[in-house]
Structure 1
Amino acid sequence: MSTSPQTERRALKLRDVRRLLEGVIPPAMCSVGADGMPHVNYLSHAEYIDDEHVALTYQFLNRARANILATGRVALSVEDPISGVSVLLQLRYLRTDTEGPVYERLRAKLAGIAAQTGMEKVFHLRGADLYRVESLRKLDPVRPLPGMAPRCDLAAGVRRLSEQLAEAADLRSLLNAFTQGLQQDLCISHAILWLLDEHGQGLFTLASIGYELAGSGAELPLAEAGLAGVALRENVPIRIGHMSQMYSYGMSWRAKAEQLGLQAAMADTIPLPGLAAPRSQLAVPLRARGRSVGALLVESENDQFFSYDDEDALTAIGAQLAQGLAALHKAELIDAPAPPTERTPTSGAALRIRHYPRDHSVFVNDQYLIKGVAGAIIAKLVRDQIASGRAGFSTRELRLAGDDLRLPEVQDNLGVRLLLLERRLAERDFGLRIERSGRGQYRLSASGPLEIVAAD
């Protein structure tokens, strides 16, 4: 049975055509003044909000702006560069936002487009105009172009990855399933998992994929965390389809320090993972039980690599990951007894640990390891092993020393910090290891005798 044009128009949803809003072909907007005079101009892009609303950039459209405020109505024409299909939307103006999640999403995408076209000093977002979609209809092209094959089957990939996350028995297997699934099931080659620190003031890297340096334990203040920081603050996915220096994270201060010869300023930092010149980025906030956990940042060396479908897929998987991190972290913090005493090494090259109490920076044989809460933990474990000769320890012991380790009462992230230490020590290969020996039980293994020095 054939479908009439009227039936097709009724069935067409804004979600079906949201990828046309991206601005690969700039949308054309037609407004009409109070005197009936039409005015047509092109926009950088439009933003899909839901099946009934879109947002348009308010930049420097003085004539169009006067028309919008006078009549409250515009028509928007968007085109698909792949299929050749055009869609006409009739919109009614609602309001203008100058802050908040919709504004930040438009601002991020505009920054990427401006950088690509060399218009950074010209493109300035004055506001996000919100509209209700009153109707939309498809205009069939004379010669439809063939569609483009998707990067992967996102729905099937999300299903497989979700099943793997559901089977994870501990934090380690959860993290491995997630990073492997991003690569194998969702065909994402570069990603960084940022977690919010115990005080909610910064982010630290728990895991990354696709980079020369894994950067486990790298830290950034929220204000310098680029797209990930904005996504976390506004609690919405933020996506850029073109390179934008405006949302580069943590690189500017490091480059400046190198230019000034301030090598000492970088001696106690973990190099940040990331692409030097990403062409596409997508940041998704991670939340569990109403609390912010962190953010996932994925990036690509190709323009327009990620889509609205990727936002949906990673938001769903990110929510499951955040719930898993919270649940498995809690499961690790049981009142397990201390492991039995083990013989610690008395031969081999000594490992000299230098600890700075002011920020808990830790160096091993004069090479930087980590600082903050994780540094306080490793310093305590080394001291305890030297004093008692015991390599094993339990999460219960560490929680009882919470004040010394600067663990907040509400959110101590102890299980995650131990996993981070395990990964960071494996990356640096100092001859020092943290290994899980049972539920709530761990072991600090050293290739030789340990020495510790408290520095000023």
Structure 2
Amino acid sequence: MTAVPLQSLHACFEGVIPSIIATVDAAGVPNISYLSHVHYVDEEHVALSNQYFSKTAANVRDRGTAALILVDGRSGRQYRLDIAFVSSSREGELFDRMSDHLSAMSARQGMSDIMALRSADLYRVLRCEAVPAVGVNEEAPPAPPDAAARLAAAARLAGALAREADADAMIDLALNSLHRDFGFPHLMVLIPDEGGARLTVIASRGYETPGTGAEVAVGEGVAGTVAATLRPLRLADMSRGRRYAEAARAERPLPRAAIPYPGLGDPLSQMAAPMIGRGELTGVLLAEAAARFAFTRADEDALGLVAGQLGAALALHDLAAEGATAQKPAGTGIRGPCIRIRYFPFDDSIFIGEDYLIRGISGRLLHHFLRLHLDEGRSDFTNRELRVDPRLRLPEVKDNLETRLILLRRRLEEHEAPLRLLRPERGRIRLEIGGTPEIEVVT
């Protein structure tokens, strides 16, 4: 058998094909079990997912060593690792990352309650060798992107985001660059609602429909898991089950809020990273592809770097946007065709005619703008006045006002509504109406 460096086996650590662990008890009786996940730690260590194999754990306690068979999910090549037990952990970054990956994969198979991670067991690799096997794919897989070049490109993009003064432009800059320069085929940015229970799509790239305003539950799907844990997650081959993604797409808070989710029907690769600003979740950046092994560890690191910068930049922009002075210029008068607006205070949802538009804080904001336009003839508003207006009931700690306004503006444009939301300058909002709004409050 031929010795190989452990760091060259990344395709074996994606959880695509279960690994085999062999141990021997004190009496010399062998035991063989399957492992759902072997995690690469560094050039000399791996971590194993300990779920329910008490015999394997007992043998390791007695002997301190084991043998692993790893399988490359792309080629079928096999490798044997002789390993020695180092330590076991039930908390910490390594445990959390392995638990997230296991939970996502097992949930796709309807086994999330059964396959919970008990511990992450760290082993030192004594020897790593290639094992002759039949039926393997001898064709070399395509070379992954250079990791250093990937991170350098992500650093340049993060710098460009830091220099951008407009929040809308930040989101477009990030998605356009990741789609065009990094080759990520499908992307979306999702932001949390005011209760932290759901994520709403605010922008996307690569899909047939943008899906602005579509929702998924926090804790469901890759994006929802990242929102719940605040940790990045990457799945290289999701073909071992379909129900996980289907369940995420089927979730809807209300039957009438039927904005189609823009995600792929059957993605085989997904990764997501949290957007964090001022210590709070401001959104999730998700990438997915129809092909297996579409994203590498370097891609995951690059996405995390960009997501972190985007989250921080949006949070800082939200603070800077408070500087505008409140003014109440008169409107230009109400004229034109009737625009029928229905507002549901129950969930702050807005309908234009019979068509659902938006809900939550964004819906509450639009109703507020329209009400003041009708009552006072106003068309211009400021971030500062919105934050202190008790009628809007914005959260005191993190209102994410800027992203709510972006979501509302993009949703109006996508809906081709007779209403437009403009940003004449930082901290100011202008409502343009192509007719006479008639508001019905439905209780």
TM-score, structure 1 length as denominator? 0.83
Tell me, in whole angstroms, the C-alpha distance in 2 between the residues paired with 1:323 and 1:303.
31
Report deviation, 1:424. Answer: 0.5
Report deviation, 1:176. Answer: 0.7
Q: Residue 244 of structure 2 aligns to which amino acid in structure 1?
A: Y
Question: Which residue of structure 2 lines up, in the alignment, with residue 130 of structure 1?
Answer: 120
Q: Deviations over 1:222-273 (max 9, x none)?
A: 24x322222222232223321433532533356xx9xxxxxxx522343322
Q: Are the aligned partners of 1:83 and 1:147 in contact in 2 as well (CA < 8 Å)?
A: no
Q: Are the aligned partners of 2:89 and 2:121 in contact in 1 as well (CA < 8 Å)?
A: no
SS at match of 1:250: helix
Q: Deviations over 1:385-421 (max 9, x none)?
A: 11222212111221221x2112011111111111111
Unmatched segments (≥5 aa) in structure 2: none
1:445 to 428, 432, 435: 432
Question: Which residue of structure 2 lines up, in the alignment, with residue 323 of structure 1?
Answer: 312
SS at match of 2:259: coil
Q: Are the aligned partners of 1:84 and 1:141 in contact in 2 as well (CA < 8 Å)?
A: yes
Check 1:289–1:389 CA distance in 2 against 1; reply closer, same or farther (3 A cut).
Answer: closer
Report deviation, 1:137. Answer: 4.4
Determine what percentage of the aligned residue pairs are the same residue. 33
Tell me, in whole angstroms, the C-alpha distance in 1 between the residues paired with 2:113 and 2:370.
54
> Does 97-106 or 384-393 show the bigger shift?
97-106
Question: Which residue of structure 1 lines up, in the alignment, with residue 195 of structure 2?
Answer: 199
Which runs of structure 2 are paired with 1:118-267 in the superposition (5 Å)? 124-139=114-129, 146=140, 148-150=142-144, 154-223=150-219, 225-240=220-235, 241-243=237-239, 244-248=241-245, 249-253=247-251, 265-267=254-256
Question: Which residue of structure 1 lines up, in the alignment, with residue 421 of structure 2?
Answer: 434
Tell me, in whole angstroms, the C-alpha distance in 1 between the residues paired with 2:39 and 2:129.
21
Report deviation, 1:178. Answer: 0.9
Q: Are the aligned partners of 1:355 and 1:362 in contact in 2 as well (CA < 8 Å)?
A: yes
Report deviation, 1:124. Answer: 4.5
Q: Residue 222 of structure 1 aligns to which amino acid in structure 2?
A: V
Q: Residue 142 of structure 2 aligns to which amino acid in structure 1?
A: M
Q: Are the aligned partners of 1:79 and 1:87 in contact in 2 as well (CA < 8 Å)?
A: no
Check 1:317–1:330 CA distance in 2 against 1; reply closer, same or farther (3 A cut).
Answer: same
Tell me, in whole angstroms, the C-alpha distance in 2 between the residues paired with 1:231 and 1:287.
11
Check 1:398–1:160 CA distance in 2 against 1; reply closer, same or farther (3 A cut).
Answer: same
Question: Which residue of structure 2 lines up, in the alignment, with residue 286 of structure 1?
Answer: 275
Tell me, in whole angstroms, the C-alpha distance in 2 between the residues paired with 1:42 and 1:150.
28
Q: Are the aligned partners of 2:80 and 2:131 in contact in 1 as well (CA < 8 Å)?
A: no
Q: Residue 227 of structure 1 aligns to which amino acid in structure 2?
A: V
Structure 1 position 314 matched with structure 2 position 303: yes
Tell me, in whole angstroms, the C-alpha distance in 1 between the residues paired with 2:156 and 2:116.
42
Question: Which residue of structure 2 lines up, in the alignment, with residue 368 of structure 1?
Answer: 356
Q: Residue 237 of structure 1 aligns to which amino acid in structure 2?
A: P
Q: Are the aligned partners of 2:328 and 2:381 in contact in 1 as well (CA < 8 Å)?
A: yes
Unmatched segments (≥5 aa) in structure 1: 258-264
Question: Which residue of structure 2 lines up, in the alignment, with residue 21 of structure 1?
Answer: 13
Tell me, in whole angstroms, the C-alpha distance in 2 between the residues paired with 1:155 and 1:122.
33
Question: Which residue of structure 1 lines up, in the alignment, with residue 285 of structure 2?
Answer: 296
Check 1:121–1:441 CA distance in 2 against 1; reply closer, same or farther (3 A cut).
Answer: closer
1:68 to 50, 60, 64: 60
Q: Are the aligned partners of 1:103 and 1:127 in contact in 2 as well (CA < 8 Å)?
A: yes
**Coordinate RMSD, CA, aligned:** 3.3
Q: Deviations over 1:175-197 (max 9, x none)?
A: 11011012012211212212122
Check 1:170–1:91 CA distance in 2 against 1; reply closer, same or farther (3 A cut).
Answer: farther
Tell me, in whole angstroms, the C-alpha distance in 1 between the residues paired with 2:24 and 2:359.
60
Question: Which residue of structure 1 lines up, in the alignment, with residue 85 of structure 2?
Answer: 92
Tell me, in whole angstroms, the C-alpha distance in 2 between the residues paired with 1:125 and 1:96.
17
TM-score, structure 2 length as denominator? 0.85
Report deviation, 1:74. Answer: 1.9
Question: Which residue of structure 1 lines up, in the alignment, with residue 47 of structure 2?
Answer: 55
> Does 194-203 or 95-104 show the bigger shift?
95-104
Which runs of structure 2 are paired with 1:340-355 in the superposition (5 Å)? 340-347=329-336, 349-355=337-343
Q: Residue 345 of structure 2 aligns to which amino acid in structure 1?
A: P
Q: Are the aligned partners of 1:195 and 1:293 in contact in 2 as well (CA < 8 Å)?
A: yes
Report deviation, 1:40. Answer: 4.4
Check 1:441–1:198 CA distance in 2 against 1; reply closer, same or farther (3 A cut).
Answer: same
Q: Are the aligned partners of 1:344 and 1:449 in contact in 2 as well (CA < 8 Å)?
A: no
Report deviation, 1:72. Answer: 3.5
Question: Which residue of structure 2 lines up, in the alignment, with residue 275 of structure 1?
Answer: 264
Q: Are the aligned partners of 2:187 and 2:288 in contact in 1 as well (CA < 8 Å)?
A: yes
Q: Residue 291 of structure 2 aligns to which amino acid in structure 1?
A: N
Tell me, in whole angstroms, the C-alpha distance in 1 between the residues paired with 2:349 and 2:107.
37
Tell me, in whole angstroms, the C-alpha distance in 2 between the residues paired with 1:146 and 1:245.
29
Equivalent pairs counted in the alignment come to 429
Q: Deviations over 1:137-156 (max 9, x none)?
A: 45368999645222686335
Tell me, in whole angstroms, the C-alpha distance in 2 between the residues paired with 1:173 and 1:95.
46
Tell me, in whole angstroms, the C-alpha distance in 1 between the residues paired with 2:442 and 2:382.
27
Q: Residue 340 of structure 2 aligns to which amino acid in structure 1?
A: R
